[in-house]
Structure 1
Amino acid sequence: MTTLNGVALAGRDGYWDVTLEGARIAALTPSEGQGGGLLLPCFADAHVHLDKTFTAARVPSRPQSLHEAIELMAGDKPNWTAGDLRQRAARGLRRAFANGTKAMRSHVDWTEAGVPAALPVLRELAEEWRGRVDLQLATLTPLDDMPEVGARIAQEIAGTGAVLGAFIYRNEDIPAKLRRVFDLAETHHLQLDFHVDEGLDPEAQGLDAILQETEARGMAGRVLVGHCCSLSVRPEGAVADLLGRAAEAGMALCTLPTTNAFLQDATPDRTPRLRGLAPIHEARAAGMPVMLASDNVCDPFYPQGDYDLFDVYRMAVLAGHLDPAGWLDSVTETPARWLGHDFALKAGAPADFIHIAATGLDDALNRPRAARTVWRGGAPIPETSGDLA
């Protein structure tokens, strides 16, 4: 039996003694001491791209828009052999694990008729990492390609726990194409995950079409929308109506502060005015589950990052004027629940958590280099957040 004395627990007042028995938390009791550090639940990263990761060094130039990044990424795809994909994706999983992530959803580009090379590689890695980083896959296909390849994709992933996804931004005939995507999800009992309105055009209304289908089909708890940058430049009244309906329909929102800050309103030799952060305060107030995620790491879409959700959260606290204590669940319990897990620190739960050498959450944010130790199964893991990849 091990006891961590006088620790601060995120979301709870005072200090606590946390008793571990084997691989589980036996008890949390108020402590008379303090100075034992800060405990956080493990992270859940609900939107990453393991197939693209760690390619930034191979890309010849810095993109100035989302579409330039897409073109640069396409230019690197001839390098995506099974060995290359495995090496890069495994590195991402190692970094996520060392930084405290316990569950992850990775998108997989799928634009061709056949199965992409990344899919079997990531399926193998998901099996190898099960219990350390539980990896769920979500296909990612341009909406315009879905009429041709959507049925093949849905059949391939049905029954595997994977998620059906599409990229939507200013496409022609969005409602009709989306109906087909939702038909596939209903037929094959799939969840949906959309990259939608990832730009600063106030006329972009992909989210509106997704919402209409979700409402009409009663698909509460099955539809996640990511990015939604254009909401930041649409009229506030229209946005409030959309978010209220989305909450009622049971949709969730995942915002990606690093990638969007890097790509949105990017013009050479000009300071960006607009950063593309979705209206997360308003979405949460409306009742939507809201989560933050790493998105791209060291690729043309964002050439930095380390699969460190605490770093993403720290950036979002600043960029989004977030209350730190009130928004910690956006990288822990909220995405964990959406991915089918419960990471809450409570008696009887697995002894999986993150220990930071800090007096509390504010202190941890103030000192990003404070020592961090990830505990899994009641013991510290040998890897640390500062290790070389």
Structure 2
Amino acid sequence: MRTIEITSPADAGAGGQRLAGVSLAGREGHWDIAVSGGRIAAIAPSSSRGGGLVLPLMADIHTHLDKTFTAPRMPARATSLFHAIEMMQADAALWDHTDLRQRASRALDRAYRHGTALMRSHVDWYGASPPAAWTVLRDLADEWRARIHLEFASLTPLDLFAEIGETIAREVKAAGGVLGAFIYRNDDLEARLAQVFDLAEKHGLLLDFHVDEGLEVEARGIDAIVAETERRGLAGRVLCGHGCALSVRDPAEVAALLARAGAADVGLTVLPGCNAYLQDAKAGRTPRLRGLAPLHEARAAGLKVMIGSDNVRDAFFPFGDYDLFDAFRGATLLGHLQPEDWLDAVSETPARWMGRSLALAEGGPADFIRLDAEDLIDALSRPRADRTVWRNGRILTDHQGEQT
């Protein structure tokens, strides 16, 4: 392990520190970062080398805190998306306040210590009354406010909106949340989707869809979402997650759709880990199709493309630890990504979609991730490279509390 220089307080001014000779993601050369009073006092070119790699904090825009850490309770491995849904709905009988709080708190702590600063969690919602998870997450959002900015989005099957959509929208508005729906080969799709958009406009809500999470070419939910967004002029307010079916549709058709989506400023969240694990899953057979939405083509068409953790240790994906940098490593492999060009997909792009910024800047908060690595390729190549997470100019420890 290399020795990384953190110089004495005198080198950065009273009460400060200076990180010498670091590499900064997205910038050429090496840099000295002066930290004082919990903020970045200066970022200056350095003649030193070997100071490690500094990254911005992460923004995880697609998670499921209500489902998380339930994998040990699952009776079997899911063999399809809908099999996983069935197992999760059965497990939901155990989701009382204590269970939900314990699992979600564990998730938030893991994410925080890995370097996540912003998070959006979807919450399953099937009835007129808010689910217990909604109440628990609202409480946890207040408790974690100084550590993780937590947003929450309702997740309701599209066909239920005619019956309970108005009630959900009012509750979501009151909580400052995001309105969401699950869409997959629904009958009367356009009319049902219009109801969701009507509610979003009426209550001033952002939209976040789970859409076309499968490998049937007939899945065209994203087409209807793009058309409705165009018609209403809701640029920058509509996010689509998954889009697996785009991977098996005619490329020319997909290109035309993505061009419209980019012009309409529809966002796309790609979930490589969960989708690669669950799509085309059959026991005793190697999967041929991984359900990866066309990241490169979407970004080239002007969409804001983001990468999220999605499910962590539940029926949909029994792995993960809320380490978004590790999820980025997997996305880099599965999507053939050039890491420097795509790091913003787990940081600044989702942060800005949530109305915030995680960019490192002089005068800004001393919040960043520091890896014992020469550059981003080195960091991705060595998963066990030492990592320190800095928040307000202090290094987080592995336990509760912080190290100065």
Query: Shared fold (TM-score greater than 0.5)?
Result: yes
1:49-101 CA distance string (max 9 Å, x none):
00000000001100100000000001101100000000000000000001000
Tell me the equivalent position of 1:329: 344
1:23-43 CA distance string (max 9 Å, x none):
111111100001110000000
Q: 1: CA distance between counterparts of 2:127 and 2:345? A: 34
Q: 1: CA distance between counterparts of 2:52 and 2:100? A: 38
Pick the aligned partner of 1:176 from 191, 210, 223. Answer: 191
Indicate yes or no: 2:227 matched with 1:192: no
Pick the aligned partner of 1:131 from 136, 146, 171. Answer: 146
Pick the aligned partner of 1:112 from 127, 137, 141. Answer: 127
1:360 shift after superposition: 0.8
Tell me the equivalent position of 2:29: 14
1:159 shift after superposition: 4.3
1:203 shift after superposition: 1.2
Task: Give the 5 Å matches for 1:283-302.
Answer: 283-302=298-317
Tell me the equivalent position of 2:91: 76
Q: 1: CA distance between counterparts of 2:159 and 2:146? A: 37
- The answer to which of 40-49 and 21-30 deviates more is 21-30
Q: 2: CA distance between counterparts of 1:161 and 1:314? A: 32
1:98-126 CA distance string (max 9 Å, x none):
10000000001000121101111000000
Indicate yes or no: 2:364 matched with 1:349: yes
Q: 2: CA distance between counterparts of 1:261 and 1:133? A: 28
1:263-322 CA distance string (max 9 Å, x none):
100011111000000000000001111010000000000000000111110011111000
Q: Which amino acid aligns with 2:150?
A: L
Indicate yes or no: 2:229 matched with 1:214: yes
1:161 shift after superposition: 2.1
Tell me the equivalent position of 1:231: 246
Q: 2: CA distance between counterparts of 1:157 and 1:289? A: 24
Tell me the equivalent position of 2:39: 24
Pick the aligned partner of 1:90 from 90, 93, 105. Answer: 105
Q: Which amino acid aligns with 2:196?
A: V
Indicate yes or no: 2:267 matched with 1:275: no
Q: 2: CA distance between counterparts of 1:147 and 1:95? A: 38
Task: Give the 5 Å matches for 1:302-313.
Answer: 302-313=317-328
1:210-268 CA distance string (max 9 Å, x none):
01110000000100000000000001111111111111101100000111011100011
1:317-340 CA distance string (max 9 Å, x none):
111000011001110111111111
Residue 153 of structure 1 aligns to a residue whose secondary structure is helix
Q: 1: CA distance between counterparts of 2:388 and 2:250? A: 44
Q: Which amino acid aligns with 1:152?
A: T
Tell me the equivalent position of 2:354: 339
Tell me the equivalent position of 1:100: 115
Q: 1: CA distance between counterparts of 2:126 and 2:79? A: 23
Residue 158 of structure 1 aligns to a residue whose secondary structure is helix
Q: 1: CA distance between counterparts of 2:297 and 2:316? A: 26
Q: 2: CA distance between counterparts of 1:380 and 1:10? A: 19
Number of residues of Structure 1 aligned to a counterpart in Structure 2: 385
Tell me the equivalent position of 1:387: none
Residue 199 of structure 1 aligns to a residue whose secondary structure is coil
Q: Which amino acid aligns with 2:248?
A: V
Q: Which amino acid aligns with 1:383?
A: D
Residue 294 of structure 1 aligns to a residue whose secondary structure is coil
Q: 2: CA distance between counterparts of 1:317 and 1:377? A: 29
Pick the aligned partner of 1:253 from 268, 272, 285. Answer: 268
**Percent identical:** 60
Pick the aligned partner of 2:396 from 371, 375, 381. Answer: 381
Q: 1: CA distance between counterparts of 2:172 and 2:182? A: 18
Q: 2: CA distance between counterparts of 1:149 and 1:353? A: 42
TM-score, normalization by structure 1: 0.98
RMSD after superposition = 1.0
Indicate yes or no: 2:316 matched with 1:316: no
1:383 shift after superposition: 2.7
1:153-195 CA distance string (max 9 Å, x none):
0011114320000000011111000000000000000000000
Residue 74 of structure 1 aligns to a residue whose secondary structure is helix
Q: 1: CA distance between counterparts of 2:196 and 2:308? A: 24
1:365 shift after superposition: 0.7
Q: 2: CA distance between counterparts of 1:40 and 1:141? A: 35
Indicate yes or no: 2:173 matched with 1:148: no
Whether the 8 Å contact between 2:138 and 2:175 is mirrored in structure 1 is no
Q: 1: CA distance between counterparts of 2:115 and 2:300? A: 28
Q: Which amino acid aligns with 1:219?
A: L
